[in-house]
Amino acid sequence: MATGFPVKPLELVDVPWHNAVGGFRIADTTVVGAGTGWTFSSIPQTFKHLLLLWVASTTGTADDQVGLRINSVSTANYHHQQLQGLGTGASAGEGLLTTFGQVSFLPGSTGRTDAKYGSAGVVLFPGYSLAGSFPTWVSRSDFTKTASTGGSRAWLYGGALQSSAQAITTIQLFSGGGVNITPGSRATLYGLT
Amino acid sequence: MPHAGFPVADGDIVDYKWLNALGWRQVADVSPNGVASQLINLPAGDLYQGFACLWTARTSQATALDFLQWRWNGLSTAAYYMEALRGTGTATPASSESLAQTAARCGLAPGASAHNAADFGDGVIFWPFVRSVDGGYACYTAITAAFSNTTTGTGFVETYGGMYGSGGAMTSITFLFAGGGNFVSGSRFTLYGLT
């Protein structure tokens, strides 16, 4: 029996669905060939918030940043703050006046004990359509490089594009080092009503 | 652009099972402006397993940053408990706790002393398995980020866990700033019921 909603099985309801259903998938893209990331453009401005889920790994040898750009802006106006858990220690880091934001890292093949190890994360863009504020995001992500102590990391990220106030219409998620993402990596963008 | 991924159109009649399948349902979407608190009444009855709120906000107070707080049913009794973990600049992460407070900290928002009027804070708060008819404690978990300038140490991320420890049925959630400032235009809270 389905619970949690006040109608009976097989009962038909008229759905004021813009408000009723919470979220919609805007785009879902899996990497199938050579490519350094994803671009979500022409994002509808009809939602309240955006949610981006991703899982990825890198073809490169070195650990690589997962970069984020808003509206294709590449001027040095991005600011990010991170909180990292690594093994049994914690640290904080920041990026000031950079040309792209950051939401995570991908584990490179050097020292990676299993090619299946990668990273995953969720990025939220609350109030993304507000034209009077700087675009911002808050994100949680993790990566695993080995199955031993110190082989995994967890992050909380926040970031902003502090060039000019603008609504978010394009989101790019990509390898900060310009290295190809492994085929099978996937990113899905949702709009929350 | 059509809403890809959901195969119905505006005005369609659909079987209710869609609604249970979809997980999140918007309860309220409010944009406070020029007020010191924002009340969101919850629907009566056993509709949801819990709640989530995505928000963006800024305070009118003359401060670089202030704490966003929430209250259960508007109550200001000293029964809110919170643990926080903060990252800023390259400083060693700091944890802190607040015991028996009159509201629970759940976010960071820039104020009038931030470097630009377009600085806003944002975040998400979850109250899992807090139903309107249950009573009991209201546990929550949240993440937030805010930036008040472009210089080192002016960006912050925080994660929280805590609860309201006096029980009772949950009928409303109120948001307010610790420093008493007003919400600035552009602030927005969207509350979702989790089915």
Chain A CB contacts of B19 under 8 Å are 5, 13, 15, 20-21
Q: Which of residues B133 and A1 earns the better pLDDT score?
A: B133
pLDDT of B134 above 90: no
> ipTM for the complex?
0.85
Contact assignment for B155 to A44 by CB distance below 8 Å: no
Choose the weakest-confidence range: A19-23, B2-6, B43-47: B2-6
pLDDT of A15 above 70: no
Distance from CA of A161 to the nearest CA of B (A): 10
B18 backbone dihedrals φ, ψ, rounded to 5°: -55, -40
pLDDT of B4 above 80: no
Contact assignment for A7 to B16 by CB distance below 8 Å: yes
Calculate Rg over the CA atoms of chain A.
18
What's residue B41's pLDDT?
Answer: 94
Per-window interface: B 129-168 vs A, CB < 8 A:
143-147, 150-157, 159
Specify the amino acid at residue B87.
G
pLDDT of B30 above 60: yes
Report the half-sphere exposure of B116 (CA within 13 A, side-chain side): 20
pLDDT of B46 above 90: no
pLDDT tens-place string over residues A91-115: 999 999 999 999 999 999 999 999 8
Confidence of residue A2 (pLDDT cuts 50, 70, 90): very low
Quick one: what percent of chain A has pLDDT higher than 90? 80
In whole angstroms, give the CA distance from residue A115 to residue B155. 35
In whole angstroms, give the CA distance from residue A137 to residue A125. 5
Contact assignment for A83 to B58 by CB distance below 8 Å: no
Contact assignment for B155 to A5 by CB distance below 8 Å: no
In 3-state terms chain B splits into helix, strand, coil percentages (rounded to 5) of: 5, 50, 45
Contact assignment for A49 to B152 by CB distance below 8 Å: no
pLDDT tens-place string over residues A52-84: 999 999 999 999 999 999 999 999 999 999 999
Cβ–Cβ < 8 Å for A101, A174 = no
Distance from CA of B96 to the nearest CA of A (A): 15
Specify the amino acid at residue B112.
A
Q: Say which DSSP state B38 is in.
A: E
Is B2 an interface residue toward A (CB < 8 Å)?
A: no
Contact assignment for B152 to A157 by CB distance below 8 Å: no
Angle, CA B134 vertex, CA B133 and CA B139 arms, to 5°: 120
Is A7 an interface residue toward B (CB < 8 Å)?
A: yes
Distance from CA of A140 to the nearest CA of B (A): 9
What's residue A17's pLDDT?
Answer: 45
Choose the weakest-confidence range: A173-177, B131-135, B157-161: B131-135
pLDDT tens-place string over residues A147-161: 998 899 999 999 999
pLDDT of B188 above 80: yes
- Provide mean pLDDT across the span B96-101: 95
Distance from CA of A115 to the nearest CA of B (A): 31
What's residue B9's pLDDT?
Answer: 56
Residues 6+ apart with CB under 8 A from B93: A83, A90, A91, A92, B85, B86, B87
What's residue B22's pLDDT?
Answer: 57
Per-window interface: B 86-125 vs A, CB < 8 A:
86-93, 116, 118-124
pLDDT of B169 above 80: no
Sequence-ordered strand ranges (E) for B73-187: 80-88, 94-101, 104-110, 121-127, 138-147, 155-164, 172-177
pLDDT tens-place string over residues A114-123: 988 999 999 9
What's residue A10's pLDDT?
Answer: 45
Nearest CA in chain A to B151: A96
